[in-house]
Amino acid sequence: MTKAEQLQTVAILVPGDFNDHAIERIDSTFNRVRIERADPALVTDEMRSNVRGIASFAGINAAMMDALPNLELIASFGVGYDSVDVGHAAAKNIMVTNTPDVLTEEVADTAIGLLINAVRDLPRAETWLRDGSWLRKGNYPLSRLTLRGRKAGIFGMGRIGLAIARRLEVFGLPVAYHNRRQVEGLGYQYHPTLKGLAEAVDTLISVAPGGASTEKAVNAEVLSALGANGVFVNIGRGSTVDEAALAAALANGTIAAAGLDVFADEPNVPKALLDAPNTSLLPHVGSASDHTRRAMADLCVDNLVSWFIERRPLTPVPETVNVKAAG
Ligand code: NAP
Ligand code: 8YV
How would DSSP label each residue in 232-284?
A: EEE-S-GGGB-HHHHHHHHHTTSSSEEEES--TBTTB--HHHHH-TTEEE-SS
CA 103 to ligand 2: nearest atom = 9
Looking at 3.40.50.720, 1.10.1040.50, 1.10.357.10, 3.30.110.40, the CATH number of the domain 104-281 comes to 3.40.50.720
Locate CATH 3.40.50.720 in the chain.
Answer: 3-102+290-320, 104-281
Q: Which ligand is nearest to the CA of 282?
A: 1
pLDDT tens readout for residues 61-120: 999 999 999 999 999 999 999 999 999 999 999 999 999 999 999 999 999 999 999 999
pTM of the entire predicted model: 0.98
CA 98 to ligand 2: nearest atom = 4
DSSP reduced 3-state for 39? coil
DSSP reduced 3-state for 36? coil
> What proportions of the chain, in percent to the nearest 5, are helix, strand and coil?
40, 15, 40
Quote the ligand 1 centre to 136 CA distance (angstroms): 46
What is each CA distance from 118 to 18, 115, 205, 232, 277, in whole angstroms?
31, 5, 12, 9, 10
φ, ψ (nearest 5 deg) of residue 125:
-65, -40
In the chain, the amino acid numbered 154 is I
Quote the ligand 2 centre to 237 CA distance (angstroms): 10
In the chain, the amino acid numbered 129 is L
Residue 79 Cβ contacting ligand 1 at under 6 Å:
yes
- pLDDT value of residue 1: 85
d(CA 117, CA 134): 19
Residues of the chain with pLDDT under 70: none
**Catalytic site residues?**
237, 266, 284
Task: Answer whether 178's CB lies under 8 Å from 152's CB.
Answer: no
Residue 271 Cβ contacting ligand 1 at under 6 Å:
no
d(CA 284, CA 235): 8
What is each CA distance from 79 to 159, 209, 263, 276, in whole angstroms?
10, 9, 17, 30
Q: In this structure, which residue's CA is closest to atom 4 in ligand 2? A: 78
Quote the ligand 2 centre to 292 CA distance (angstroms): 11
78 φ/ψ sector (left φ>0, alpha ψ -120 to 50, else beta): left
CA 78 to ligand 1: nearest atom = 43
- pLDDT value of residue 327: 73
Task: Answer whether 54's CB lies under 8 Å from 34's CB.
Answer: no
d(CA 198, CA 153): 7
- pLDDT value of residue 111: 99
CATH number, domain 3-102+290-320: 3.40.50.720
